[in-house]
Structure 1
């Protein structure tokens, strides 16, 4: 059966999801929903039906089997609940919500008997990125030995236009804006994907570079401890020209040019007991060809090939279809999406308090 999919939100990400739906032989783009005047024109460009609200979509002849929610962060929960109540499977763009309270309420709503048969996934699409898939396989193979630490970077410069209406919500912490929930949440999810849950964070904010009315967090230097014993440092900042970010390193986002300087654009360095790995150049450093593991010997350098470069959004959509059909379990469930949000809120709390913040791995517990 072809899965009929609606896109909710015609902003930056919505059309990218729509193109994946159009190109997948198992899915049909049935509608685009957006209240803005530009929504109808975007729907026309995508050659699909247009509706100004989820309610009008659900009352129409074009009811979808599934929907991908790409609306502003503070609207994620009410939109997802409305779709689930209407019998629609949901792939919800990250983050789950702008607050933990609302995020938890969505998970409880999705588990209620009336909705329990429906699928709720969180769109941490980078889990499907080929660089991430190779890194995950290297870690699982034991090639690095026991993971010890990670050093990460997400440093870019966002122009003023990024914060201009109708996306001015990005400039305020109160509406789910700022670099922590918009960008760092991706890296938190990937670090969970690689090393398991984070249980403690500290954070020092960067010097603000933007003036009022912009009041969203622009960045911070973090330290991290994982339940597994792995430790990490991470620098996140959206106010500096830099090649060190997931987007510039992998070229995943067509709107952000990929750097061409190879190892000069690494954004993760993973350190293990037997070897270390830099990403995205996928360079492994070890003493494999030396008589002993010692700093007195030259390091062996291995370049690990990238087997494919399939678009993560396409792979995520195919996974969504498989989950709907009952063939696989979600790669990033609602619970895993919430776990990343828990850490982001802990980072924001650490910034405000100037104190370490412990994080309980039991997501059922509230602060």
Structure 2
């Protein structure tokens, strides 16, 4: 048995303690430190029964230097902190988004590829890849139970109240820093890359504006068409200004602050509202109700035949826990690293292409060579 990996948490905000609980619950990892300059930092560290350091440099020059670190700091610090950790020989799991801009993300990618850092793992924390519904969907797709994938239809539609945009988070009203594309769509782009490969072209039409008081100039939503390098095509409807059960959060119940939306007999039977519909040459699959419709066992594959329904079970698991286990296994070399820096950047590049399409009214080719 290998000794537990020594893991430090960098940032004690909302998400840092959640990552810390995953480290504490995993027998192959040991929480050795919490780094945060805030006044609440020492109390949070004491609650987690771990050492406290006010700065990253204080940790790295101490006897408690970790094997790996989880970066949970504000987005604009992700790149600089990850670089410092890599330069110190520490494996990194950095929260998404990997960077606040494509340019800074590319600088991190170049830094990680330097010969002296190339042996280190840099995982971008798109934890939804490790959600059990996504894991099951990928298993079904990879098994070719749907045949050749033809198209995908995605939905993310909900209503964010005025309080979501109130101080101190009024930056969410601004096009420069807020909007539903960089805050929400980036998650679904990464999942679709994970399931279907890179997106190479987008076209987006903005939804009608709903918010005028106080003034908002952030994007509220869009109808988007997608083309993947694999030949798959797709559509995605996105809005944060309409009541709807069709989001990843309400479908999976992943976020404890957002109630899971159960359907009733009036809406098609017991279950949850779907947010992805995946269409293949042999069958289609809806997620997260995990219903597969096909003509299996019928006289012929034809719309004149009744469809056969198969439902897949999903074993509950906490995505943060599964992600940490994957990170530890990747460090030890037993699995291939999941969401790399390159893949984290690809999601940002697609979101930027969607933004440019909205501004120009034209399709945008997604172009950025990261290999």
Q: Mark yes or no: TM-score above 0.5.
A: yes
Query: Which one of the candidate residues 258, 282, 296 is aligned to 1:288?
Result: 296
* Match in the other structure for 1:203: 204
Query: Which one of the candidate residues 297, 302, 308 is aligned to 2:310?
Result: 302
Distance 2:34 2:168 in 1: 18
Matched, 1:126 2:155: no
Q: 1:167 to 1:38 in 2, by over 3 A?
A: farther
Aligned residues: 362
Taking only aligned residues, the RMSD between alpha carbons, in angstroms, comes to 2.0
Query: Which one of the candidate residues 343, 347, 352 is aligned to 1:340?
Result: 347
The alignment partner of 1:276 has SS state of strand
- 1:15-30 paired onto structure 2 within 5 Å: 15-30=17-32
- Residues 135-189 of structure 1 show CA distances to partners (whole Å, capped at 9, x for unaligned) of 11111111111111111011223344444555555444434x3322222111111
Query: How far is 1:336 from its partner?
Result: 1.2
Q: 1:139 to 1:186 in 2, by over 3 A?
A: same
Matched, 1:362 2:362: no
- Residues 279-313 of structure 1 show CA distances to partners (whole Å, capped at 9, x for unaligned) of 0000111111321122112111111122x111111
Distance 1:264 1:132 in 2: 15
- The unaligned stretches of length 5 or more in structure 2 are 264-269
Distance 1:154 1:331 in 2: 24
Distance 2:185 2:74 in 1: 16
- Residues 211-252 of structure 1 show CA distances to partners (whole Å, capped at 9, x for unaligned) of 456543332211100111111110122233221111111111
After TM superposition, the score normalised by the length of structure 2 is 0.91
Query: How far is 1:41 from its partner?
Result: 3.3
* Native 8 Å contact 2:262 2:271 kept in 1: no
* Match in the other structure for 1:193: 194
Query: Which one of the candidate residues 2, 14, 17 is aligned to 2:16?
Result: 14
Distance 2:87 2:215 in 1: 37
Q: 1:41 to 1:208 in 2, by over 3 A?
A: farther
Question: Which is further off, 152-161 or 245-254?
Answer: 152-161
- 1:133-152 paired onto structure 2 within 5 Å: 133-152=135-154
Query: Which one of the candidate residues 243, 268, 275 is aligned to 2:276?
Result: 268
* Match in the other structure for 2:357: 350
- 1:1-367 paired onto structure 2 within 5 Å: 1-164=3-166, 167-175=169-177, 177-210=178-211, 211=213, 214-261=216-263, 262-263=270-271, 265-306=273-314, 308-360=315-367, 362-363=369-370
Query: How far is 1:99 from its partner?
Result: 1.1
* Native 8 Å contact 2:94 2:123 kept in 1: yes
